[in-house]
Structure 1
Amino acid sequence: MKDDNRIIKEVEWHQINTKEEEDLRGKIKFRKKNRRYIFIKICKGMIFVLIAAFSGGITGGYIASKIYSNEMNTNNSSSFQSDNTSKNTNNSINPITKVAGAVSQCVVGINNSNDSILGDESSSYSGSGIIFKSDGYIVTNYHVIKDTSRHLVKLSNGKDSKPLNASVVGYDAMSDLAVLKVDSANLPAAVFGDSSKVQVGDTAIAIGNPLGEEFSGSVTAGIISAINRKIRIQDPSTGITTTYNVFQTDAAINPGNSGGALCNESGEVIGINSLKIGANENVEGMGFAISINEAKKIINSIMKNGRVIRPYLGIQLENYISEDKKIKGVLIKQVKDNTGAARAGIKVDDIMVEFDSVKLESKSELQDIMDRHKVGDIIPCKVIRNGKTVKFSVKLSERPPSDS
């Protein structure tokens, strides 16, 4: 058969280089795979350690903070009372105590006499004053020094201190304020505050010398009962009424307290106590003080001119309303010679119905307008004379001094 006749050839054998075979086996990616496996294992181990450390740190910190917090609370609760006791012992939290200590040294006693020589034994301190400049300037009430020629000031640095002679720089009877000067330096001076910021209910601390030297530096406290109380003081020589803003307080202001300081919780002087202003009230629990903003203007004028310069019309007047109530204004009762009103041509029985382009209904309104002007200003006005309206221009002169 054909198949049986196949020729079978012997296959040739070749020798294989075992070294090459080993090299081929060694280059199989077996070793590379083994290194990567080890690297991954190491990374996993490191990550596990980091997670364990981080978790342990958080847990430990939380436990430690809780323990520390509990210990601190325990320590604070045990030492709270002793710490507060120590603080209260060293630093008083009472504002009245702080104000009294700071301001009392700025408040002086004032004694007056008409004698040329006034001995200490006959001293009777009739009022108080406030040092407002360290070189010896003192503000007080005018009625404290009125009708006397000799004034002694007793400082607050002890009963054995020698009283100082004081001279009168100037005064203003209308506002009941006066300024004195003693020959001394480096005196403790009070700080004037801003009375426009005072509100009803604020703490009010009055410091003065009620009933004489024995009670010098007395302190009473209360609240501000009312602000911008309108006190109207009439000048008897002119009939002109001047309006002042004052504080009402329930802090006791007794005889001798006049001219003393009314302070706020910060130790700032917000008012000057005045018994005269409240004299007509005569009600217990009602004290009055001239607001410091009003007082500062008056003090500055006294320091500059020795008096307060106020504008002046030169008329005496009264409120007027016609029977049919159609005409309201002020009736001219008197015209002073050589005044702005006289020179302008205003006459008795004229009815002034308009002043400075403002329709008048009362003499207090006229005075309020006057207070906004100064000496020398020329003010337009209208009067009704014999049923006709007449226009005038009035040049304001200076109000003459008076002892109201």
Structure 2
Amino acid sequence: MDNQPIIKETSPINIGGDIVFKKTKNKKKPRYKIFLNIIFYIIIASLSGAITAKILVDKELAKITIDGNGKSVFLNTKEKREAMSEIANKVSASVVSISKIVYGKNVEIESGAGTIIREDGYIVTNQRIVYKADEIKVKLSNNKVYVGQVVGSDPVLDIAVIKIDEVGLPAVIIGDSSKVKMDDEVISIGNPNANAFQGAISYGVVENANQRISATDRQIRQPVSYNAIRTDIEIFAGNTGGPLCNLNGEMIGINNNILSYTEKATKSGFAIAIEDAKPIIDILMKRGNTLKLGLGIYGDKAIPKNGVDGVSGVYVRDVLKDSEAYKAGIRPTDIITSINDINITEVEDISRVLRTSQEGHIAVCKVWRNGEYESINVKLDYYRMLS
């Protein structure tokens, strides 16, 4: 029995209608096959180790790469945290603490944050942070304190520019908010304590890159709208007025906690898009007021009548006397349907179309009057009105 081969039951076969099992002998493998198998496993293990080592080395050497769209791309979570912290620390040098003193109260109010936008002392912040201030104090990241002067402010967009008497300051790099997309990662930087500089750094993602905000200019009783960036970062007293940055360390928005409150988005934060803020900042730095580039008219949205004669555009309610629009021939009851071949349907569209224009440029206005269209050229100027 001991010399009999071992029989194994394997796959059944059919012989003359009866099912029987094929009997096979258990033969020992040749030694050379065993040797080849050992060599094969050694090679696989070596290759696996080499690939793993290469991945680890590549991750260590390339913490951040830039993709085709100019975005920063992180390779793993640890390096992402380290790189984002490095970006935040760099931008924090451009973030200041702003406090104001109101005479009669004899109390220094810790208002919020601001961002150095020019190395010669210009700082942008929220308008309400410096509103009704008799004295403004600005503390830099190096704890030096300066007296700030309000250059100008715009209550509609809640933007103010202040200046301190210093040069060689670390100015933030201004980015392009028009390139921001939903789910982009962002960094919010502020200062929750004006008496001890502590950068309030928060990380999050963009929920809406073009949140349209509507407001009313109370001085001229005209509607105005602008873009804000909505994120999942909570904006509070410490980081309002500070910068919202992309992963390249560029400022893409101005944090605003009042917007976060008024828009009833308690779990979201808002920042005024820098592309909408830049024209206002430039005007404030040049003129110190909130005059806006426009035609010189008061308007309302035109409601089209039923039928083929219905016209969409901005109904001219009044024209500022001695304005360029008046000189060019635009009159009340005219309907402006386009400017520079761009259709106009609401009053806010006028400022949107003229955003990239400059004083003295010509706006070609298509006007509907008495059942006919006319083309009227209007030289642009600054007015205390939106349109």
TM over 0.5: yes
Q: Which residue number corresponds to residue 273 of structure 1? A: 255
Deviation, structure 1 residue 382: 4.4
Query: Is the 8 Å Cα contact of residues 232 and 242 (structure 1) preserved in structure 2?
Result: yes
- Which residues in structure 2 correspond to 1:58-73 (within 5 Å)? none
Deviation string for 1:28-64 (max 9, x for gaps)? xxxxxxxxxxxxxxxxxxxxxxxxxxxxxxxxxxx9x
Q: Which residue number corresponds to residue 233 of structure 2? A: 251
Query: Is the 8 Å Cα contact of residues 246 and 288 (structure 1) preserved in structure 2?
Result: yes
- Which residues in structure 2 correspond to 1:12-161 (within 5 Å)? 93-115=81-103, 122-157=107-142, 161=143
| Aligned match for 2:213, one of 231, 241, 258 | 231
Helix, strand or coil at the partner of 1:94: helix
Q: Which residue number corresponds to residue 338 of structure 1? A: 322
Deviation, structure 1 residue 252: 1.1
Helix, strand or coil at the partner of 1:124: strand
| Aligned match for 1:366, one of 347, 350, 373 | 350
In 1, Cα distance between equivalents of 2:245 and 2:367: 46
Does residue 399 (structure 1) correspond to residue 387 (structure 2)? The answer is no
Q: Which residue number corresponds to residue 313 of structure 1? A: 295
Query: Is the 8 Å Cα contact of residues 97 and 138 (structure 2) preserved in structure 1?
Result: yes
Deviation string for 1:322-365 (max 9, x for gaps)? 33152222222222222123333433333333444445433333
Is the alpha carbon distance of 1:360 and 1:104 closer, same or farther for their aligned partners in structure 2, counting shifts above 3 Å?
closer
Deviation, structure 1 residue 271: 1.9
In 1, Cα distance between equivalents of 2:313 and 2:165: 51
Is the alpha carbon distance of 1:209 and 1:401 closer, same or farther for their aligned partners in structure 2, counting shifts above 3 Å?
farther
In 2, Cα distance between equivalents of 1:254 and 1:177: 17
Is the alpha carbon distance of 1:343 and 1:279 closer, same or farther for their aligned partners in structure 2, counting shifts above 3 Å?
farther
Structure 2 unaligned regions, length at least 5: 1-38, 61-77
Deviation, structure 1 residue 152: 0.6
How many positions carry a matched residue from both structures? 321
Query: Is the 8 Å Cα contact of residues 220 and 385 (structure 2) preserved in structure 1?
Result: no
Alignment RMSD (CA, Å) = 3.8
Query: Is the 8 Å Cα contact of residues 246 and 289 (structure 1) preserved in structure 2?
Result: yes
Counterpart of 1:318, as a letter, is D
In 1, Cα distance between equivalents of 2:266 and 2:80: 31
Return the TM-score normalized by structure 2. 0.69
Is the alpha carbon distance of 1:237 and 1:312 closer, same or farther for their aligned partners in structure 2, counting shifts above 3 Å?
farther
Q: Which residue number corresponds to residue 324 of structure 1? A: 306
Aligned sequence identity (%): 35
Deviation, structure 1 residue 258: 1.8
Is the alpha carbon distance of 1:164 and 1:202 closer, same or farther for their aligned partners in structure 2, counting shifts above 3 Å?
same
* Structure having the larger proportion of residues in helix: 1
Query: Is the 8 Å Cα contact of residues 244 and 254 (structure 2) preserved in structure 1?
Result: yes
In 1, Cα distance between equivalents of 2:118 and 2:342: 41
Is the alpha carbon distance of 1:298 and 1:321 closer, same or farther for their aligned partners in structure 2, counting shifts above 3 Å?
closer
In 2, Cα distance between equivalents of 1:367 and 1:186: 35
In 2, Cα distance between equivalents of 1:347 and 1:254: 46
Is the alpha carbon distance of 1:203 and 1:307 closer, same or farther for their aligned partners in structure 2, counting shifts above 3 Å?
same
In 1, Cα distance between equivalents of 2:339 and 2:112: 41
In 2, Cα distance between equivalents of 1:228 and 1:184: 35
Bigger drift between 176-185 and 353-362 goes to: 353-362
Counterpart of 2:86, as a letter, is K
Helix, strand or coil at the partner of 1:364: helix
Helix, strand or coil at the partner of 2:128: helix
In 2, Cα distance between equivalents of 1:284 and 1:211: 22
In 2, Cα distance between equivalents of 1:224 and 1:92: 17
Structure 1 unaligned regions, length at least 5: 1-62, 85-89
In 2, Cα distance between equivalents of 1:354 and 1:188: 43
In 1, Cα distance between equivalents of 2:192 and 2:211: 24
Deviation, structure 1 residue 154: 1.8
- Which residues in structure 2 correspond to 1:153-232 (within 5 Å)? 153-157=138-142, 161=143, 163-210=145-192, 213=195, 216-232=198-214
Is the alpha carbon distance of 1:202 and 1:360 closer, same or farther for their aligned partners in structure 2, counting shifts above 3 Å?
closer
In 2, Cα distance between equivalents of 1:287 and 1:281: 9
* Bigger Rg, structure 1 or 2: 1
Deviation, structure 1 residue 223: 0.6
Does residue 350 (structure 1) correspond to residue 338 (structure 2)? The answer is no
* Structure having the larger proportion of residues in strand: 2
Counterpart of 1:198, as a letter, is V
Return the TM-score normalized by structure 1. 0.66
Counterpart of 1:124, as a letter, is I
